[in-house]
Amino acid sequence: MLLRPLCLLLLCCAVTLPVRAASAPDGELASRIAGLLAANHHGSVENAPQLRIRILTPATKLAALCEKPDLRLSGHPVRLTGNRSVIAKCGRKQHFIQVNVSASGRYWIAARLLKPGQTIGQRDIQPLRGELDKLPAGLLLDASKIVGRTPTRTLHPGQPLTENQLRQRWLVVANQEVEVVAPGDGFLIHAKGKALNNAARNERVRLQTRSGRVVAATAVSEGTVSINIDN
């Protein structure tokens, strides 16, 4: 009978077919990569975008991964979406996994014309929700990173807001007379000086004292800088 030889032939073919390693299936791997990207998002949980991960690396290469590889993101791209590289480490061996990231979520646009130098308030911006893939790199998803800052260029109504369009508001500006405080052990010295550069909160200021000496200071509030008493 031909039935028995045919069954043996089919069994041999089944055994020799390439088998995809079940230890690191796409679903689990994609979920772990999404977790890495979410952890890399520095905004609040409520503002976190919904990520969709598509693994581009061929199954034959993924089969070489160990059961639980250590994963980390490669590089520091400004754009959340698009093609990314993930490093998977198994012992001393490193593997590169190529993925495509797409995302949807809430982002912010200018609600009215915003001009350089003005301080942005909550009413100056407006949230929208949608796909993030085709929006500009550096898109801001958290309103707290927008309110209180100032545009570096004119922004038009409806324009998505990005990191490189905004800066912190200057607390001191170049050539401004500023209040100088020098805290010590149980005392506080007040003086006047001239700022030699613009600075936002906690940024360094080159300060010229009344005697003409130039020292380093830190902008702490509107028109006020602090210096180390040891300077």
Q: For residue 19, how far is the Cα from the chain centroid?
A: 38
Could you read off the pLDDT of 100-121 as tens digits, one per residue? 999 999 999 999 999 998 999 9
Query: Do residues 144 and 187 share a domain?
Result: no
The tens digit of pLDDT for each residue in 71-90 reads 999 988 878 899 999 999 99
Q: Is the pLDDT of residue 7 over 70?
A: no
Shared-domain flag, residues 74 and 99: yes
Asked if residue 124 is part of any domain, the answer here is yes
Asked if residue 90 belongs to a domain, the reply is yes
Q: Domain for residue 12, yes or no? A: no
- Asked which of 103, 130, 153 is the last residue of a domain, the reply is 103
pLDDT at 2: 42
Q: Over range 201-221, report the average pLDDT.
A: 93
For residue 212 the two structure tokens come to: 């003409």
The encoded tokens of residue 40 equal: 């890399």
151 and 186, same domain (yes or no): no
Q: Write the pLDDT tens digit of every residue in 154-210.
A: 999 999 999 999 999 999 999 999 999 988 777 888 999 999 999 999 999 999 999
User: Does residue 146 sit in the same domain as residue 157?
Assistant: yes
Q: At residue 24, does pLDDT exceed 80?
A: no
Pairwise CA distance, residues 47 & 226, whole Å: 35
Looking at per-residue pLDDT, the higher value among 231 and 55 belongs to 55
**What is the residue range of 185's domain?**
176-226
**Residue 21, pLDDT above cutoff 50:** no
Are 121 and 92 contained in the same domain? no
Same-domain pairing of 136 and 186: no
pLDDT averaged over every residue in the chain = 85
Distance CA 158, CA 200 (A): 27
Q: Is residue 63 part of a domain?
A: yes
pLDDT of the residue at 102: 94
Model's pTM, two decimal places? 0.70
* CATH code, 123: 3.90.1210.10
Write the secondary structure of 32-98 as one string of H (helix), E (strand) and C (coil).
Answer: HHHHHHHHHCCCCHHHCCEEEEEECCCHHHHCCCCCCCEEEECCCCCCCCEEEEEEEEECCEEEEEE
The CATH number of residue 215's host domain is 2.30.30.760
What percentage of the chain reaches a pLDDT higher than 90? Answer: 67
196's tokens: 């030699």
Domain assignment of residue 11, yes or no: no
Which residues neighbour 135 within 8 Å (Cβ) at sequence distance 6 or greater?
A: 107, 160
Q: Do the beta carbons of residue 151 and residue 124 sit within 8 Å?
A: no
Q: Give the end of a domain, one of 168, 184, 213.
A: 168
- Report yes or no on 7 lying in a domain: no
Q: Are residues 184 and 152 in the same domain?
A: no
The answer to whether position 98 is within a domain reads yes
The answer to whether residue 19 scores a pLDDT higher than 50 is no
In a domain, 216, yes or no: yes
> Hey, what are 197's tokens?
């550069």
Domains in the chain: how many in total? Answer: 3
